[in-house]
Structure 1
Amino acid sequence: MLVFSWSLVALLLTSSSCAEEEVAATEEDTSRELSVGALLERANRDRTPDIDEPTLIGGDIAIKSWADRNADPCTTSGCLWGKWSDGKVYIPYYIASHFSSREQAIITRGLESFSSVSCIRFRPYQNGDRDWLSIESRNGCYSYVGRLGGGQTVSLSHQGCLYHSTVQHELLHALGFNHEQTRSDRDNHIQVYWENIMDGMDYNFYKIDTLNQGTPYDYNSVMQYEKYAFSKNNLPTMMPIPNSNVSFGQATQMSKNDIDRLNRLYKC
């Protein structure tokens, strides 16, 4: 009877593992079909934040107070992460233990993707670190913009946030970048259809005095949302100009321009 019991347990564990792998495969297949903007909107659509979680603007940008909703910390001092004497920018991080090994691998891959294209080096948190990223599964996908000081949360929820594109997107926020559609020169490249935006959500399209690093507007940026973002009637809220047929908001990873402006911002 004992042998039979252990065999049954082993069978159940194997079945559970296979089921988890099937779910993971399904999520990965879905991510190949969805842009980062669509993934973020889906993950945050019905978000119910805990009392200790921040207000979000732009879908996934955390702010300390409502007064900060139109501010760009990187236009002032203190936003950037510091550079060391070897020319590298080391950013400590801590990955919460509630992530599975597979989820940790996705996060780690996103962290490591910066080292091959820039001077950014994410490294595990060590005692004595004053500033660091605390990567947790909270309610939805979100990050603050730039370095705040101390530990700051980057939320990558188990429910819909654990994809390479969303990890890169949130880390770029933490490095100091806003969404592409809020760029100061947005109106030269994107027409916003205010009448199609959800009531009370128009502030998500307000322009910010962004640091564009001398790079062109990038329709393929991993920071560009897709045309139906925050739509209340299934009509576009954004369209490219002057050519409305240009594809945009479909990125699944950092573009060349994303990488260029990152390197310019941090003088890599």
Structure 2
Amino acid sequence: METTSIMTPAFLFLFFLSLTPSGAVDDEAAVENLGVSETIARANDGIATRLVHGDIVPNLQRNADPCVTSGCKWPKRGSYVYVPVVISNEYTRDEKNLIIQSLLTFHRSTCIRFVWRRRHSQYLSFFSGTGCWSYLGRQSQGQQVSLRRDGCLFTDTVQHEVLHALGFHHEQVRSDRDDHVSILQENIRPGTEQNFAKQPTNNLGTPYDFESVMHYSKYAFSRNGEPTIVSKADPDMEFGSATTMSQNDIARVNALYQCGESR
């Protein structure tokens, strides 16, 4: 039997805060934050873990349908979506606190509530793996989220991988991307072409967002230093350096999980 439904959101929030001392590590002060796109690309360069779209572990038993039709949403109880978590003891206290503080950003702007795993069969397990990666949406059992200690511990990177786990794809592969960007195939590094494959995403009525923490840079997976993604409205536009969730990222979480509505 799961126990999170008896915990109030206020209790959960205070429970997390009680573990976070005022001297917790500052991610941007500790190591240069290159922006989520470059951070993930560097951390995952050359790793053996099988990934699609740069940082997503494929589930071979699930097709590429949008999350709302493929059963990968996390369940909602009342007004909140409770997502159990485990954080590996291989992290230092400060590193754990950075992850916790990053999770708390969802508490402040959405109805997602992260709770400690007890006997839950479905949960997120944060550990220092080979790079920065996650599964797409809720899986049938406990699922890993890799945040390598020496390359992935930034607020934006935690948010990015958690958004994958909540069911969200990269912005540049959304279903209407061809209205907004051009993909320059001739500049893409051989073997990484699938990272640009358009997906049948549910965009939840939100606009294409160059400021999204889920958007990769215009030079992502470039073979020659030339752009691989170019804005159609402004070819000189730079993007992919977001350091936190945008308002559209937050709006999508709230729309997908019907935040503000009890269930």
| TM-score normalised over the length of structure 2 | 0.85
2:132 pairs with 1:137: no
Check if 1:198 corresponds to 2:189: yes
Match of 1:151 among 142, 160, 163: 142
Cα displacement (A) at 1:46? 2.8
Between the aligned partners of 1:59 and 1:218, the Cα distance in structure 2 is 19
**1:47 to partner: Cα distance:** 1.8
Structure 2, unmatched stretches of 5+, are: 1-24
Aligned: 1:189 with 2:180: yes
How well do the aligned residues superpose, as a CA RMSD in angstroms? 2.0
* Distance (whole Å) between structure 2 residues aligned to residue 42 and residue 180 of structure 1: 19
SS at match of 2:109: coil
Higher helix share: 1
- Cα distance, 1:247 vs. partner? 3.2
1:219 aligns with 2:172: no
Which position in structure 1 is the counterpart of 2:162?
Answer: 171
**1:136-168 CA distance string (max 9 Å, x none):** 111101000100121000000112001111000
2:32 is aligned, of 30, 33, 51, to 30
Within the candidate set 56, 61, 80, 2:73 is matched to 80
Separation in 1 of the partners of 2:72 and 2:66? 6
Over 3 Å counting, the alpha-carbon distance change for 1:143 and 1:26 in structure 2 is: closer
Assess if the C-alpha contact under 8 Å between 2:217 and 2:238 holds in 1: no
Instruction: Please list the CA deviations of residues 167-195 of structure 1 after superposition, one character each: whole Å capped at 9, or x if unmatched.
Output: 00000000000000000000111111000
Runs (4+) off by over 6 Å:
23-27
SS at match of 1:252: coil
After TM superposition, the structure 1 = structure 2 runs for residues 27-106 of structure 1, keeping only pairs within 5 Å, are: 28-31=30-33, 34-49=34-49, 55-65=50-60, 71-72=64-65, 74-85=67-78, 87-106=79-98
1:78 aligned partner, one-letter code: G
Cα distance in 2 between the residues matched to 1:26 and 1:263: 27
Alignment partner of 1:122 out of 102, 109, 114: 114
Structure 1: state its 5+ residue gaps. Answer: 1-22, 50-54
Quote the Cα distance in structure 2 between the aligned partners of 1:171 and 1:149: 17
Q: Percent identity?
A: 47
- What's the TM-score, normalizing by structure 1? 0.83
Letter in 1 for 2:56: I
Within 2, Cα distance between the matches of 1:183 and 1:88?
A: 27
How far has the Cα of 1:75 moved from its partner? 4.6
Summarize the Cα distance change of 1:48–1:240 in structure 2 as closer, same or farther, 3 Å threshold. same
Q: 1:116 to 1:240 in 2, by over 3 A?
A: same
User: Which structure: larger Rg?
Assistant: 1
**Is the CA contact 1:95–1:135 (under 8 Å) kept in the aligned structure 2?**
yes
Deviation at 1:29, TM superposition (A): 4.5
CA contact under 8 A between 1:75 and 1:209: conserved in structure 2?
no
Alpha-carbon shift at residue 118 of structure 1 (Å): 0.5
